[in-house]
Amino acid sequence: MSDYPYQADFPQQEGGGDEDARSDATEGHDEDAEAMYEGEYQGIPHPDEIKAAQRAARAEARKKARLAAAMPDEEDLAEQYENIMEDCGHGRFQWTLFIVLGIALMADGVDGFVVGFVLPSAEKDMCLSNANKGMLGLLVYVSMMVGAFVWGSLADKMGRRKCLIYCLAIDCVFSFLSCFAQGYGFFIFFRFCSGFGIGGTIPIVYTYFAEFLQMDKRGEHLSWLCMFWMFGGLYASFTAWGIIPHYGWGISLGTQYQIHTWRVFILVCMFPAIIALVGLVFMPESPRFFLENGRHDEAWMILRHVHDTNWKAKGEPERVFTVSNITTPKTQEDEFIEIQSDTGTSFQRWTVRHTNLLKQVMQNVISLAAPDLRLQSLFLAIVWFTMAFSYHGLSVWFPDMIKYMQYEEYESKVKLFHRERVERFHFNFSLVNQIHKEGEYVHDKFMNIEIKSVKFEDSLFENCYFEDVRSTNTYFENCTIKNTVFYNTDSKFIDCRMENATFLHPKKGCHLNFQEENDIVIYMVSFLGSLATLPGNILSALFMDKIGRIKIIGGSMLVSAVCTFLLLLSFSQGAVILFQCLFYATSVAAWNGLEVITVEIYPSAKRCTAFGVLNGTCKLAAIIGSVIFAKFIGVTKIIPIFLAFAALACGGLLATKLPDTREKILE
């Protein structure tokens, strides 16, 4: 029995169940006082008559299919469940669930931006090398890939709601711990665990919501749900823009413990996951999951609650849920668990249950390669892979290209000083973007200044004094340093010769410049990129059911492929931002279509498992694309553009081979 609150009103399964159902159906109903349907005089059919006609047409089509296949003529669970959802209607309950699951999806969108935004600041506290920074981003994607596979598979056996609560709880706990991790090892471990939790969100959210939707509402409302991922990107970008650049602000708890604004940003990013977690406590499990697992009574209570909530909100509280019996398949695995639960110790029962659970999960994964699912699973996996490869690869390429352009512009303004001799001079002003070669500095003082992007090569420092010097991207290379004192100063030496040099109270940590790595242009780029998906989200939602999923996916990917060629014209930062927004705007519809069709293709017992495997494939493609595209920053634009075009074009053409699921009842 589940923890759903409505447990007092079970339908009677024996002796009088049908009579009670008939009496409930007439409760509060007076035929003499019934108001005439206002459209009857105009020859407009009643909505209930339209639904009845649709059901009859579907039933007739299925009857013909059964006769052709020599199958028994009986209404199966899929048809019966669809009829029940039509009777329940679409109303307050679905909209409430829509908000809760949307915020959960928003939490996943936020998490996709967190590491990228905090790395420039976190490296200052943890002195991360480029290799460590790359490893952190890679491991977070790996953890999300594993999480999608594991939680997607478990949700088909443990329940959508339960697994989603576990996912969000794990994300919240380890995100919170990562805020206070002072060392790189703990930070990367906590972010890995957080990614493992949030990685299961997408497969579960779409499956969970789809099972509360009737067929004619499914495509549109799943597409509206996709917009929350965009809201997550907007939320992360906007809060990062407002919080992280003020990195100089912080709280010191002792000499070794610092809480800077990037840690505050991680805390703020937890809010969507916390809100969704609280909302899920008041939501029921998917009744379709209960029915697939033979739990008729719990499913019946939830469906009645959905029915009553919707019709009361529409001002028709007299409409009564009349369903008294629902088809419930029972598997051998269910019977095996029930038999074992009556014998042995608690540990033995726990072992048997979880061993059997693991066995069922693996069988579910293997069953995706069955003959009836093999081809469409392969096609769908390729389309997911090509879309993710191009999208995430370019998502890395856009901001890195902007940074490279900024770097090139900065380098073009460098000042070169050659063989200068400075003696008994007091440097009380900042040194910025300079190269000093073969210089001599004798009896000079460098006090309370900032040295930014400066390089001293083959130079001599004799009897000099450095005090309270802050440096960013500054190096002493092949220099000779004699009788020189460094007090409260951070310096980087490469192959230097030290003769009687003194270091007093050297600064610990990196102590890089607070403003240097927090260019607000990067936050603005992410914000505008997320905002650019709004038109594509709206159009895909409006036309998902009108023109179909296949045309949406194929058309969006092919148009996006054409748009990638415009990147050849990106010779300025403004052009890169413009074409980035154009690419995001045209490609988002394909994402929405893929998520809708993935939910609809697979049967309920395998739906989350399949979605998890495909979403894990997506994360794998994101890892490969990010690594490959990053290699060509500053080298050439042609190869990334060609790779993105080829992947999108192939994926778009292959999408036309997928089945049309617009009129398909969830199996």
Q: How far is residue 454's CA from residue 477's CA, in Å, rounded to a whole number?
A: 11
High-pLDDT (> 70) share of the chain, %: 76
Residue 74 pLDDT: 40
Question: If you count them, how many residues does the chain have?
Answer: 667
| DSSP-assigned letters across all residues of 264-302 | HHHHHHTHHHHHHHHHHHTSPPPHHHHHHTT-HHHHHHH
Q: How far is residue 200's CA from residue 159's CA, in Å, rounded to a whole number?
A: 13
- Segment 144-161 mean pLDDT: 89
State whether the Cα torsion 56-61-67-73 is positive or negative.
negative
Contacts of 629 (CB under 8 A, 6+ apart): 393, 394, 396, 397, 640, 643
More confidently predicted of 365 and 543: 543
Q: How far is residue 91's CA from residue 236's CA, in Å, rounded to a whole number?
A: 31
What tokens does 552 get?
């949406």
CATH number of 415-503: 2.160.20.80
What tokens does 477 get?
């290379």
pLDDT tens digits, 39-49: 554 555 555 55
123, amino acid identity? E
Q: How far is residue 161's CA from residue 600's CA, in Å, rounded to a whole number?
A: 19
Residue 168 pLDDT: 94
Split at pLDDT 50, 70, 90, the class of 408 is confident
What tokens does 152 get?
């997607």
Question: Is the distance from CB of 465 to CB of 446 less than 8 angstroms?
Answer: yes
Distances (CA, A) of 141 to 131, 169, 173: 16, 19, 18
Query: Residue 509: beta bridge partners?
Result: none
Question: Domain 70-327 adopts which CATH fold?
Answer: Growth Hormone; Chain: A; (1.20.1250)
pLDDT > 80? residue 423: yes
In this structure, what DSSP letter does residue 667 have?
Answer: -
Q: How far is residue 78's CA from residue 84's CA, in Å, rounded to a whole number?
A: 10
Residue 206 pLDDT: 93
pLDDT > 70? residue 554: yes
345, amino acid identity? T
Helix ranges (H only) for 314-457 are 332-340, 346-367, 371-411
pLDDT > 80? residue 384: yes
pLDDT > 90? residue 666: no
Query: Residue 436: beta bridge partners?
Result: 417, 456
Exposure class string for 69-87: b at 16+ Cβ within 10 A, else e: eeeeeeeebbbbbbbbbbb
Residue 78 pLDDT: 77
Question: Is the distance from CB of 294 to CB of 330 less than 8 angstroms?
Answer: yes
Q: Is this structure's pTM higher than 0.85?
A: no
State whether the Cα torsion 385-387-393-399 is positive or negative.
negative
Query: Residue 421: beta bridge partners?
Result: 440
Residue 125 pLDDT: 67
Split at pLDDT 50, 70, 90, the class of 477 is very high
- Segment 534-560 mean pLDDT: 90
3-class SS of residue 99: helix
More confidently predicted of 245 and 590: 590
3-class SS of residue 357: helix
Residue 204 sits at φ, ψ, to 5 deg, of: -75, -45
pLDDT tens digits, 449-468: 888 889 999 999 999 999 98
In this structure, what DSSP letter does residue 572 have?
Answer: S
Residue 33 pLDDT: 41
Locate tokens 């001079």: which residue?
A: 425
Residue 12 pLDDT: 43
Q: How far is residue 308's CA from residue 146's CA, in Å, rounded to a whole number?
A: 39
Q: How far is residue 180's CA from residue 656's CA, in Å, rounded to a whole number?
A: 49
pLDDT tens digits, 99-123: 999 999 999 989 888 877 877 777 6
pLDDT tens digits, 345-359: 666 666 666 576 666
pLDDT > 60? residue 513: no
Split at pLDDT 50, 70, 90, the class of 65 is very low
Exposure class string for 206-224: b at 16+ Cβ within 10 A, else e: bbbbbbbbbbebbbbbbbb
pLDDT > 50? residue 9: no
Question: Is the distance from CB of 608 to CB of 666 less than 8 angstroms?
Answer: no
The region of weakest confidence among 162-166, 524-528, 539-543 is 524-528
Question: Is the distance from CB of 460 to CB of 480 less than 8 angstroms?
Answer: yes
What tokens does 514 get?
């607070």
